[in-house]
Chain A
């Protein structure tokens, strides 16, 4: 079982690298969807021995929300956008991939220093979660399109979700569901703002959002 869990975690990180390295908005959203679906399988593998109903519920909710609804929603948000690739980046593709690779290394170093107080089923969970968080940050900082930044935020949230899976048994259901709900609302509001931005600018480039400064 453990082998499968490790394999899936490695796949999640590789998909993260894939998102970071792609510049087409459509590709990014699709890969994000796949990544989230795979991430939704992690609880099933981690808690295979003592499965409980709410764990299934949380995983299914995660798979449906992040794997299907969110990508669909993001595609809806870019339906009128003609230019669907990231033309100008703050951090270039090569540099982003290099930094992401370094972030994976850094995550392993950091995770080896921090000892998790209870035994966990795979040593890869914490490093993968940290790597996803850093990759999300790289997207947020390095991209200029509003949609790429939203994807960056969602990748960051995926990393946090991966960490939360470790705590699924110890924390009340309310918190987990509340977070999923929050995330969903966040996407809705973001979508509204994004569509307003595209109405106003006919382009969702945040570089143009620079009239407010001192």
Chain B
């Protein structure tokens, strides 16, 4: 089953290169995404067996992230049907092919039970997203792609070195990089090498996850990629990297090194939130603003994991909330870009008056991103704050609240300016109305986040608790 989940997007991705016709390719994409989601939902009912000699397996954490990826991918592939309607000149063959490869490699990351395989998966996601980010091939997008490629490759190289250190730490007794085995024998690892390995793995995977100060690729890549790709990067790719950090956390927990692991993550998390605030303040590009908000939310995730206990539960819940909110936000920016042909905040005015549907979505996305009550993000952010207070980390709690409030104000200023006002005279050109496929996915994503604000289904709660249990929460 797991092998099938990885291999069929890969094969269909290859098949796309020989299929003629844009429409049929879009349909294939949608069909693959549907099949993938259907398979994943069956995994919720019967747990799959380990396969490939124990290299592949699915635990609660993997299942959670895999489901998030699958749902968001389905929404994005539906959105792409409308997004591509008026852009026929660019090469979609490569785009859709690599999109499917991307899905396959992300699945590989979530199901791998071996550190080497995990890193290969992460590297493969980086490489397969390169043609996606560089889709428009303008000067800026090439620059963004170059930064993304260089910084992420170096990050993965460091993580690889960290993995080797991990192997050295267990060279006398564990002699393997299987996660289960490492967790079982964590106490026997040689401590200096293990600590070195944790540092390198956190820095390496943190680069991919976009934690400051290693985040510099993120705003460029997110702002230059086509909007549906930004949604996938921010909702799926960053979570894959987050999963690898969770794997490190699992071993640290088993080895009794949680304080060491937590202190690094809390520090990185606070720095990320601070950096995000500084760059969101007065940001002129609305996609960059959402990108920096991703940095902020990755910081929140790191802080939640670092705090431990309830914080881990909050963090895992926030993974879902953040992925869907960010997905919705970037899809809205896709609509905006289609309507205004500009990424500048100053050129987008009066959205609410001219495009009511997009305007309302933008408002909802803003409220969800900044964690206003009613939305799921509020609940998960509150749980993390609760964990901070419960653990007597008052300084962390103070900075956490401070940055959340400041970021809320600065995003509000930008978004409200965009929603209200009169568009500049020359900008008033007849713009296409939003097609159904560009509305429905956003609506669904926002509804999911809204629902999570009121009610967490028991099956989801179960998995969240199980996942938190793996990390000692």
Contact = CB atoms under 8 A, between A and B. Distances in A.
B7 interface: no
B153 A172 contact: no
B190 A117 contact: yes
Contact of B142 (A190, A193, A210): A193
A70 B150 CA distance: 17
B149 A193 contact: yes
B134 A140 contact: no
A196 B137 contact: yes
Contacts of A170: 167, 171, 175
B224 interface: yes
A185 B105 CA distance: 14
B157 interface: yes
A186 B140 contact: no
Interface string A131-169: 001000000100000100100010011001001101100
B117 A178 contact: yes
A171 interface: yes
Interface in A96-124: 113-118
Contacts of B139: 200-201, 211
Interface residues of A, number: 41
Contacts of A182: 120, 123-124
Contact of A156 (B142, B157, B169, B192): B157
B142 A171 contact: no
**Do most interface residues of chain B lie in helix, strand or loop, or is the interface mixed?**
helix
B207 to A, nearest CB: 13
A214 B279 contact: yes
A175 interface: yes
A212 B224 CA distance: 9
Contact of B116 (A115, A133, A174, A189): A174
**Do most interface residues of chain A lie in helix, strand or loop, or is the interface mixed?**
helix
A10 interface: no
Given A164-B164, A189-B149, A193-B149, A212 B142 contact: no
A4 to B, nearest CB: 24
Nearest to B151: A140
B127 A212 contact: no
Interface in B136-157: 137, 139-140, 142-147, 149-150, 153-154, 157
Contacts of A190: 149, 153
Nearest to B292: A214
A120 to B, nearest CB: 10
Contacts of A156: 154, 157
8 contacts: A156-B157, A171-B167, A171-B177, A175-B116, A175-B120, A196-B134, A200-B139, A212-B219
The 7 closest A-B pairs by CB, nearest first: A175-B116, A209-B143, A178-B120, A212-B220, A182-B123, A117-B171, A214-B279
Given A117-B171, A209-B142, 12 more contacts: A115-B192, A156-B154, A157-B157, A166-B168, A170-B175, A178-B116, A178-B120, A185-B124, A186-B123, A186-B153, A197-B142, A212-B143
Interface of A: 113-118, 133, 140, 146, 149, 153, 156-157, 160, 163-164, 166-167, 170-172, 174-175, 178-179, 182, 185-186, 189-190, 193, 196-197, 200-201, 206, 209-212, 214
Interface of B: 116-117, 120, 123-124, 127, 130, 134, 137, 139-140, 142-147, 149-150, 153-154, 157, 160-161, 164, 167-169, 171-172, 175, 177, 190, 192-193, 196, 219-220, 223-224, 279, 283, 288
